[in-house]
Structure formats: C-alpha cells, structure tokens
Structure 1
Amino acid sequence: PEAPTFAAEPAAELAAYRAVLETTAGNVTLEFRPDKAPEHVRNFLRLAAAGVYDGTAFHRVVRGFVIQGGSMNFRREPLDEGQQRLVKTLQPEFNDIVHVQGTLAMARGDDPASASTSFFICTAAAPSLDGKYTAFGQVVDGLAVVQAIEAAPVDGETPNARIELTRVRLIRR
C-alpha cells in the first residue's frame, strides 16, 4: 500500500500526529506545529510515512547546541524510486518559534530554500537560529535520549559510533 502523502489534510489536522524516532540510543517523541510551518510538517510526515528516514543516522552532534539527523548521505540503503520522488527542497517558513532545548527544525545549507530531509533538535537555547531556520515542532518525550546522543563521543562533530535512526513511527492522537 502507498504511504500517505498528507497532501489533502488541512494543516490544522497535521497537529494530531506525533512521530516516534526509534534510535539505537532510545526513543524520542516529537509533536508538530503546522500552525507555524505547515509545509515543513507535511514534508516530515510524508518522508517518515514512506520510510525515507529509516536507516539514517544522527551524523552531527554539537554539544550545547544541536543533534542533527535525517541526511540521505548517511542512509544505510539507497532510496527506492517512490521515496526519491518525495525528497524535495522546501521554501523557508521562518516563524516566531524560539530555538530552545527540544526544538525541532530543518537543517539547510547557506541558501534559505535548501532544506530537504536533514533536521536538527536543539540541545540548548540557540537564539542565533531564531527566524533563520524553520522550526516546526518539539520533543515531548525522550529528552534524556536527546541528551544521551548529545553526550556521545565525537570526532569534531561526527559521533565515533553510528547513532542510527532505525525508524520513524507516526501516531495519530
């Protein structure tokens, strides 16, 4: 069966979903803010439902700042054609969500319109990111797991041992 695309759901209904990030360090539960960044929420849900994030890793860890995951460069298996079609770049939806411990936002390159699959979770307040990165949710359970990932031994910003995002499970409240 085809994974849901969430294309037809009104943005307000997207708030009913939570995502459980099942990692090798434990589970992290996210809730979303479609009132602030509807297309980013829709994108994340669509990618998660299609298994795009399964088998990726938290590839960047910066203590006192962020943990970052979801990059296709760190995926164990290549995407299938259907999954590849879902991966696109997003226009920014900058908003007034502040980047504090537990904030979920999309990573990007220098171009504000380059966010695609990589996301980050703030491990501390990061006011320098406010209004410059699209925040679209927050951790509601599993902050201790985020902190454990943040504490992993690193070489520069790369964890010494792979911290896998095994799968993302969506639940509707």
Structure 2
Amino acid sequence: MKQNPIATIIFSNGGKVQMELYPDIAPNAVTSFIYLAKQGVYDHYPIERIVPGWVLDMSYHAFHNPKACYFIPNDVKSGKYLEATPGTIGLGGYGAPEIAGGEFFFPLADCPSITGVYPIFGKITDGMEQIRWMEQLKTYPVPYPDAPDVKINTPVRPVFIEKVQIETFGKCYGEPTRLEGIEKPLFWPCIYP
C-alpha cells in the first residue's frame, strides 16, 4: 500500500504540527520541501511573517540559507491543485509563475487569491492549535522592499522552528527540479542565479 510522506514540525514552544504531503498533487513542492528539511535548512529558524486572518509565512528570505535560494516549476500549471484553506501548507513566490523552492506558508483562512496560484502540497493532520496560537502572537510591522502595501508582521518574541522531521516510508525523493536564470529577490542571501 502506498503511503504519502509525513512531515512533523517541532517549534521552540514545544508545539508540533504534523502534515501529510501530497506528491501526486504537487510533486515539485513536496520534493523541494523534503530536500531542504533533510538538509536542516528549516531548523532553528524564527518565524518571520504573521498576517492574522490570512497567512502564517515561515520565511521570505529563503531561510537566510543559500541552499534554499532557488525556484522550481509551479505544480499548479498541471491543472491539478488543492484549495488554500486553513489546515493546508503551500509554497510561495513573488508574483511570477515560478515558485520559491523552500518558502512555505500556512493559510489562516480560505484564500481564493492563492488557490491555483501557489501550490498547496499538504494538509495538517495534527497540531492546528499550534498554528492558531502563532496567529495570535504579538507582532511589529516590518517594511517590505519596494512594496509598501505588503504586510510583514514579525513576532515580538521569536518562535523558532526547532526541527522538521520527515518520514518517507522508504521512498527516495531526491533533489528538486530547479529553474535556472530567474532573478532572485534582493533580500535573499544569494541574489545571483
């Protein structure tokens, strides 16, 4: 019997979020997430962006790690995708159709403006209360380069991703397919393709 991979995010407050990932729906996103998690890119990283009622965004700086500075093909172009709703996890981007290889987020409400734009690659099976707890954290506004309308709210007291554990049930996911020649955001730690 085929089993989808399971990811468990352990946070610095002791909370956990467990997710089932869907390689049949978003193969590029799942492979990229697993690839970076297994390299420890997400470990010990503070959550960077909370927009209550919309999205909890783990990073918009490629996790300050050159290993995460790449774009991948967008899975939604296949025409098969999930809706962005509370309890799902997705990979984000910067307006272009390409998707950042590692910048994952949790929708905090039904997000029709995200559905079919960014790949939703999994669903929370346990720990939604941790997401709702983080949504309520006290934050302060941070300016976003060249886009004053974009809301960036960073927690006053940082909450860290301590570790992301992956169970693939013996299946190897390898390295993600990267897109070359795409200009990197200036606030990533690696601005050259």
**Normalised by the shorter chain, which TM-score bucket?**
0.7 to 0.9
CA-atom RMSD in angstroms = 2.1
Residue identity matched to 1:118: E
What's the counterpart of residue 56 of structure 1?
A: 45
Contact 2:42 2:63 in 1 (8 A): no
Q: Which TM-score applies when normalising by structure 1?
A: 0.80
Alignment of structure 1 residues 15-34 onto 2, 5 Å = 15-25=3-13, 26-34=15-23
- Structure 1 pair 22/87, CA: closer, same or farther in 2 (3 Å)? same
CA distance in 2, matches of 1:101, 1:58: 18
What's the counterpart of residue 138 of structure 1?
A: 123
Contact 1:89 1:113 in 2 (8 A): yes
Shift of 1:114: 4.0
1:88 aligns with 2:70: yes
Contact 2:90 2:122 in 1 (8 A): yes
Contact 2:46 2:160 in 1 (8 A): yes
CA distance in 2, matches of 1:66, 1:35: 24
Encode CA deviations 1:100-123: one digit per residue, 9 max, x unaligned. Answer: 111110011122214121110111
What's the counterpart of residue 86 of structure 2?
A: 101
Unaligned runs of 5+ in 1: 1-11
What's the counterpart of residue 8 of structure 1?
A: none
CA distance in 1, matches of 2:117, 2:130: 26
Unaligned runs of 5+ in 2: 142-152, 170-193
Secondary structure of residue in 2 paired with 1:129:
coil
Percent of aligned positions with the same letter in both sequences? 26
Report which of the two has the higher share of helix: 1
1:37 aligns with 2:22: no
CA distance in 1, matches of 2:63, 2:159: 10
CA distance in 2, matches of 1:30, 1:71: 21
Contact 2:86 2:107 in 1 (8 A): yes
Could you tell me which of 167, 171, 176 is aligned with 1:171? 167
Encode CA deviations 1:63-86: one digit per residue, 9 max, x unaligned. Answer: 1111111455655xx66xxxx3x6
- Structure 1 pair 37/114, CA: closer, same or farther in 2 (3 Å)? closer
What's the counterpart of residue 5 of structure 1?
A: none
Residue identity matched to 1:107: G
1:67 aligns with 2:56: yes
Contact 2:5 2:22 in 1 (8 A): no
Shift of 1:161: 1.1
CA distance in 2, matches of 1:36, 1:50: 23
Encode CA deviations 1:9-30: one digit per residue, 9 max, x unaligned. Answer: xxx96x5321110112311111
Q: Which TM-score applies when normalising by structure 2?
A: 0.72
CA distance in 2, matches of 1:98, 1:114: 17
